[in-house]
Structure 1
Amino acid sequence: MADSSTATFVLIHGGGSTSWDWHLVAPVLKGLGHEVVAVDLPIEDPANGVGEYADAVVEACAGRPNLVVVAHSWGGLVAPIVASRIDAELLVFVTAMVPLPGEAPNDWWAASGFSDLEASESEEDQFYNGVPAALAEECTARGRAQTGERDGEPSPLKAWPDVPTRFLLCRDDRFFPPVFVRAMVNDRLGFVPDEIDGGHMIALARPRELAERLHRYWTELPR
């Protein structure tokens, strides 16, 4: 029987990125007694869509106990598909996109209200505020081309998974601003998001605080 004090955190990165985004969070989670699976989504293959991205995550965590699915940013479109295909104990969105069942990724931007926002800062400032310069540069260098050729197709998510769900809003996020996120989460998930200091790339800016919050979410689950 699996030890209920130990979770397997399944970490899903954002768009155009890699599992490296979680490289500072993973050792903290391990130090708290957990297992970690961080997956590189197969985003560079134009034959793949969100369903295939989810398949890659499901395959990577097969046979692991006490699964907690954690998604950052664009990875939020993948996470509920994963949670609907595995025996997940918890689903956590970290300043992430929350899809509706059947919603095409390309449709999220307008349907969520994000397209109505006006950006007043550079993309670098929107994403990397609070991140040490060397980490920001390495993250950018490690970025991958995400083809998105199938992002116009409806999501294979048929219904929201019956899994306890948390949303962590980043108070200093300049890409998904708190005012937008609170409204989006209330509209799509029906609850008020939790909050933490930090910008959009919180896993690089405040990895310990993020890991400790994820650990707390696990310990707060009813047993």
Structure 2
Amino acid sequence: MTTNSTPTAVLVHGAFADAASWTGVITELRNHDVPVVAPPNPLRGLASDAAYIASVAAQIDGPVVLVGHSYGGALISVAGTAENVVGLVYIAAYATDEGESLGELQGRFPLSPLVSNLKEATYPVQGAEPAVEVTIKADAFPEIFAADVPAAVTKVLAVAQRPLAASAFTEPASAAAWRTKPSWALVAAADQAINPEVQRFGAKRAGATIVELEGASHAVALSRPREVAELIRDAVRATR
């Protein structure tokens, strides 16, 4: 690993979405010659998902800046302990502490409309009872997840949601990489999925460099890709 090589931005999507949610951001980063990888997030549990993301990062030749949206923020807080990770970027995300669950972090503040608009289903688990997964109710999805994205797009996103294992909300994080790695955070000020106060609290606690976007929904990477990519580029430049 050479100290002057440009870090690779690894973009970790959150719940109810997939890696395509980074499309505009990927384009912006590539236009500025930032190497980028957007792996699939399994969305099956905090420890197992973080282990997968850490594995992806560890197999990249050279330094890595981990970027997490939403639930992906909790994953990069754990996966960021990988040796070649040099920076963390939180995009409308949870920045959990060691031993803290998503439920505990968001429970410090009034709950967002997301919580009362989740739909439960089950999925099979080999050798065990079926487990519970959640999606956002389709009629509530546009307003809660992507209020600043065109309606025609949000209807497709609502249908194409990727469910999150409900256990992910109660599983404690095993590490907080922001304690030893520099971090950046973008707060989506009109977020209806994660209370912006939760985002601000986690970002301040992490000592992150914070940017706040007024009027930005939870789907800020889709609606404001240029600003999101700009913050990631700041992190890449600072850790080169």
Q: Could you state the TM-score of these two structures normalised by the residue count of structure 1?
A: 0.82
Counterpart-to-counterpart distance in 1, 2:103 and 2:201? 20
Counterpart-to-counterpart distance in 1, 2:86 and 2:9? 10
Instruction: Name the residue aligned to 1:12.
Output: 12
Contact residue 10 and residue 64 of structure 2 kept, 8 A: yes
Counterpart-to-counterpart distance in 2, 1:171 and 1:105? 19
Contact residue 94 and residue 102 of structure 2 kept, 8 A: no
Q: Where do residues 26-175 of structure 1 align in structure 2 (5 Å cutoff)? A: 26-43=26-43, 48-61=44-57, 62-110=59-107, 112-115=108-111, 122-149=140-167, 151-157=169-175, 160-175=178-193
Q: How many residue pairs end up in the alignment? A: 215
Aligned-residue offset at 1:124: 2.3
Aligned-residue offset at 1:93: 0.5
Counterpart-to-counterpart distance in 2, 1:150 and 1:214? 26
Distance 1:99 1:149, change over 3 A: same
Contact residue 4 and residue 66 of structure 1 kept, 8 A: no
Aligned-residue offset at 1:106: 3.4
Contact residue 84 and residue 161 of structure 1 kept, 8 A: no
Aligned-residue offset at 1:70: 0.5
Amino acid at match of 2:212: E
Amino acid at match of 2:53: V
SS of 2:165 mapped into structure 1: coil
Contact residue 46 and residue 75 of structure 2 kept, 8 A: yes
Counterpart-to-counterpart distance in 2, 1:222 and 1:52? 27
Contact residue 65 and residue 235 of structure 2 kept, 8 A: no
Instruction: Name the residue aligned to 2:206.
Output: 189
Aligned-residue offset at 1:40: 1.2
Stretches of structure 1 that go unaligned for 5 or more consecutive residues are: none
Counterpart-to-counterpart distance in 1, 2:17 and 2:37? 16
Aligned-residue offset at 1:123: 4.3
SS of 2:80 mapped into structure 1: helix
Amino acid at match of 2:66: V
Distance 1:60 1:138, change over 3 A: farther
Distance 1:97 1:179, change over 3 A: closer
Distance 1:14 1:150, change over 3 A: closer
Amino acid at match of 2:52: A
C-alpha distance after superposition, 1:90-113 (max 9, x if no partner)? 101011011120113333331x32
SS of 2:164 mapped into structure 1: coil
Q: Could you state the TM-score of these two structures normalised by the residue count of structure 2?
A: 0.77
What is the Cα-based RMSD across aligned positions, in Å?
Answer: 2.8
Q: Which moved more, 1:138-147 or 1:176-185?
A: 176-185
Aligned-residue offset at 1:209: 2.5
Contact residue 101 and residue 160 of structure 1 kept, 8 A: no
Contact residue 74 and residue 97 of structure 1 kept, 8 A: yes
Counterpart-to-counterpart distance in 2, 1:19 and 1:7? 19
Aligned-residue offset at 1:191: 5.7
How many percent identity over aligned positions?
27
SS of 1:10 mapped into structure 2: strand
Aligned-residue offset at 1:69: 0.5
Contact residue 72 and residue 96 of structure 1 kept, 8 A: yes
